[in-house]
Amino acid sequence: MIAYGENIKVFCGNSNRAFAETVCRELGLELGDGTVQTFSDGEVSVSLNETVRGADVFLIQSTCKPVNDHLMELLVMIDACRRASAGRITAVIPYFGYARQDRKAKSRDPISAKLVANMLTAAGANRILTMDLHAAQIQGFFDIPVDHLLGNPTFVKYYLDKFPEDKFDHDQFVVVSPDVGSVARARAFAQKVHMGLAIVDKRRQKANVCEVMNVIGDVRGKTCILYDDMIDTAGSLCNAAQALVDVGGAKEVYACATHGVLSGPAFERIEKSPIKEAVVHNTIPLPENCPCKKIKQLDVAPIFARAISHVHGGTSIADLF
């Protein structure tokens, strides 16, 4: 149980209730009594069945599929708390949707990540708590404080336990960035697990379709760990894994990513790929009967619980990392 002060309330929407319940267990709190429903015409209805006046309120909601429904639930919850005179409202968004739309890639493109940031602020959020944004610069889209948690410490512990240095030669392991844009996060992870670094260079022709071009780095005969912030359709990840084996001559391939979006043909692709195991966090819930046995989920609810405790107590969350 984590120490906390008085007058703290935690509510959740419908995106990942099990995650919110785990956070509350870690905090030693009961999940707030609230109901988030949908009218027959699709409108969101929120009812808070306990007082929040003057309280430090934390609203847990991942904006995962269906993204727009879950985002609207969060906005309405924030508004309900604001109009009920909550003392402070923190939107806890384990997975921040629209994060990939963070710039104008071509003429007349929207910057939807900035729009969502504006909407959350306008609704009445006083603070954002999230994990592994697709681009760290998105923190600057908000005019309110953003606490950006990191998922890699969980992966570091997992792989150091799985491949301890006293039993495995880490010179025979390589952390691989599946594209040039993810090199910085892959490098930080590689340094913590004391492994080398390689990059898969690819050229994307259109959305969700990519062509692997080259493997930069020595992976021949080595165990590779692909590291990214999210797995969506798994096209990039599986193509990178295939390139590591076919082009680079890798011995075996593992994969990990903070957010398991896993849309479209993702499960089928991972199951058929050379990837031995794909590890994700529970920022997004997996289907009850996951069709891919290669996928494993790690729990980051304790990290969010500790972060909530620090935010509520007014202490630094940098200590968590």
pLDDT tens digits for 215-229?
Answer: 999 999 999 999 999
79 CB burial (10 A radius; 0-12, 13-18, 19+)? middle
pLDDT at residue number 203: 64
* CA nearest to 67, candidates 97, 99, 111, 102: 97
**Residue 254 CA to its chain's centroid (Å):** 19
Q: How many residues are there in the chain?
A: 321
**Confidence (pLDDT) at 180:** 85
Amino acid at 178: P
pLDDT attached to residue 201: 86
Q: Is 65 assigned a catalytic role?
A: no
Mean predicted lDDT score pLDDT of the chain: 93
> Is CATH 3.40.50.620 the classification given to domain 8-150+301-320?
no
Average pLDDT on 246-252 reads 94
Residue carrying structure tokens 């260079």: 201
In this predicted structure, the answer to whether residue 204 has a pLDDT above a threshold of 80 is no
Asked if residue 1 has pLDDT above 60, the reply is no
Phi, psi of 86 (to 5 degrees): -60, 145
Tell me what percent of the residues of the chain surpass a pLDDT of 90. 89
Contact 142, 125 (CB under 8 A): no
What is the predicted pLDDT for the residue at 125? 98
Burial 84-112 (b: 16+ CB within 10 A, else e): bebebbbbbbbbbbbbbbbeeeeeeeebe
SS3 181: helix
Residue 3 pLDDT more than 50? Answer: no
What was the pLDDT predicted at 78? 98
Average confidence (pLDDT) over 61-65: 97
Helix axes 67-83, 112-123, angle to 10 degrees: 30
What pLDDT score does 213 carry?
Answer: 67
At 5 the pLDDT is 52
Chain centre distance of CA 191: 21
Confidence class for position 214, pLDDT limits 50, 70, 90 = confident
Q: Which of 76, 63, 53, 69 is nearest to 125 (CA)?
A: 76
Catalytic residue among 114, 162, 192, 202: 202
* Coil vs helix vs strand at 216: strand
Q: What is the pLDDT of residue 2?
A: 47
Residue carrying structure tokens 């992966």: 155
Q: Is the pLDDT of residue 308 over 50?
A: yes
Per-residue pLDDT tens over the stretch 9-29: 999 999 999 999 999 999 999
Answer whether residue 80 shows pLDDT above 80: yes
Percent of the chain at pLDDT exceeding 70: 95
We find that the CATH architecture of domain 152-298 is 3-Layer(aba) Sandwich (3.40)
* Every domain range in the chain assigned CATH 3.40.50.2020: 8-150+301-320, 152-298
* Tens of pLDDT, residues 96-144: 999 999 999 899 999 999 999 999 999 999 999 999 999 999 999 999 9
What residues form DSSP beta bridges with 257?
228, 280
Q: Label residue 205 by pLDDT band (50, 70, 90).
A: low
User: Alpha-carbon distance 132 to 144, whole Å?
Assistant: 18
The encoded tokens of residue 309 equal: 């405790």
For the packed helices 301-313 and 17-27, what is the interaxial angle rounded to 10 degrees?
60
